[in-house]
Structure 1
Amino acid sequence: MTPVFDGHNDFIQRVVSAGDKGTSIWLDGDGTGHMDLPRLRAGGMIGGFFAIWIPSPSGPNDDATVAIMQNPPFELPLPDQIPHDSALPHAFRQAAALRALERTGTLDIITSAAEIDEAAQNNRIAAIMHMEGAEAIRDMDALHLWHAAGLRSLGPVWSRPTAYGHGVPFAFPSSPDTGDGLTAAGRQLVKECNALRIMLDLSHLNEAGFNDIAELSDAPLVASHSCAHAICPSARNLTDRQLGQIAESKGLVGLNYASSFLRPDGKRLPLDGFDVILRHLDHLLDTLGEDGVALGSDFDGALMPTELGSAAALPKLIEAMQNHGYGSDLVAKIASRNWIELLRRTWGK
């Protein structure tokens, strides 16, 4: 089975929401969501980025919002900024939940690329502690504290403003050029993440913020879970110009499986078959090259394609790439090796 290392999931929120049952959901599954340990093992998923994320009072998975996103065009207003004092306790709960999964002996929170292979050899899932939206980080002292706790990847924003920058709205059709760039605090955050070798994630960031990080950062540019704007002109997707900048930095894009970011019509409806997914992969490969394309599912955070209903279905995606003519070496790179090499370049180990 081809090993898969994944660029983004929102599973920890499911664990926190389940309370005392959270760990058992991980170990045994409960028949809901997209991920749990049995389904990861069935699908060959050896690890990924586990996101700490603070939900807004309303979001893209609410029934009313889903109805709007099923009928483009649409432009949803950005949710309000989450105050730090509200965000921090929830972020702590999610970080603690990830540590609780580690204590089961089935998962390792890793801080080096070498540890991904080590975890796989020991039949454990390699988890990167990632933060999607930096609301829980009050200042640079707090960033250092989170780094000491294991944080190795950070997206300055989700699709709402923070003290550091501005996210893109859920909008279709739309350019990602939707607002201002990084704040002064955001520019400081980039420099401090570079110094600590924390990977900066450009997914959800608007174009002006993207440009600022491209100018300021000395690390490879990374979008952990995004798609090609040329195929699906959603504000959340990356334009060819942005893809070119990522390529120049020897960075990487993890393909998002969310149907509404894959479908050319932008509808938040199930996507059948793998043809559109392969069109996105072809486009990313044309711009980024064979070393710059990976996977970033958004499991437990978005509507999945019909054939990718859970992590257990990942072999179907691998088979589709093989049938499309991707050779075994390219499939292995997209599935896991490109992420591992990118992390080695970014973290230095």
Structure 2
Amino acid sequence: MRGSVAVSNTNTNTNTNTNTNTNTDTDKNKKPRKARTWKTIAKDWDLYFMLVPGLIFLLLLKYSPMYGLVIAFQDFSIFKGIGDSPWVGMKHFEKLFINDQFLSVLSNTIIISLYKLVVLFPAPIIVAILLNEIRKMAFKRIIQSVIYLPHFISWVIISGLFLNLLSLNDGIVNTLIERLGGERIAFFMDQSVFRSLLVATEGWKEIGWGTIIYLAAITGIDPELYEAAKIDGANRLRQMLHITLPGIFSTIVLMFILRLGNMLEAGTEQILVMYNPVVYDVSDVIGTYVYRVGIGASDYSFSTAVGMFESVVAFVLVISGNALCKKFLGRSIW
């Protein structure tokens, strides 16, 4: 019994000493870590200094304006300012959800965004894969330049360009349709075709630019995989399906999640310069509605509430899209 007690006491003392030493070592390791962190910052001070302009830009132009969101909860007056304008709580949000016009605008936004997502999201992927299959570099560069250039043209110029091309009376497209035995189409005035016109013009402008990301991802695929596939007898199509697509799948998921965050944007700048009162019923989206209400009617509080609603929905879509991609596809941003 005495031997057992002695052994027990010895073990207890040993454990106590061990725990004490462990805690002491942990406490000792904390200080060196902090020291190493500051040492690393001091060593690369020039790199951290380069972050300062970017941080200032974010604080001044991205985060500071967020203070203005408070006017969504006020009856804001430009003469009284934010400080003296009366608080009204959720009044403008209640007005938002019972407003029939806004419900129509929200419906248009979702329809146009889904239309663009279904048609335009896969297009740059397909174009990038096809461009990657071109073996003559001179021809490949010419095509790349041609499809990239429209991205640098403003929507105002593009709107005027297509307005002339698709003019009802003397447009080239309508003239060709009439000579082929068809009837002229008022593309900018016909509600049944205006959404398709929006998708087509955005595709013409942005598909080439979108291919850059996927082409960059394709260049990161190991060429030995293609060589091995050729030895196994895989043709070009099978190489694209079993090597190229899986190789850029992470990039596709990333771009899809980011695209979801812009679902309620729906191409505001494009629509603003291309639509007219005749097609308001099918083309008025949240962005154009905010512009007309906020700038045209000077209802700043209500337009801010609409903008905040759009931002919250975009945030939820990004979080949800990331979670779903992580669960079902095994890929995500974080």
TM-score (norm 2): 0.22
**Bigger Rg, which one:** 2
Looking at secondary structure, tell me which structure has more helix per residue.
2
Higher strand fraction (1 or 2) = 1
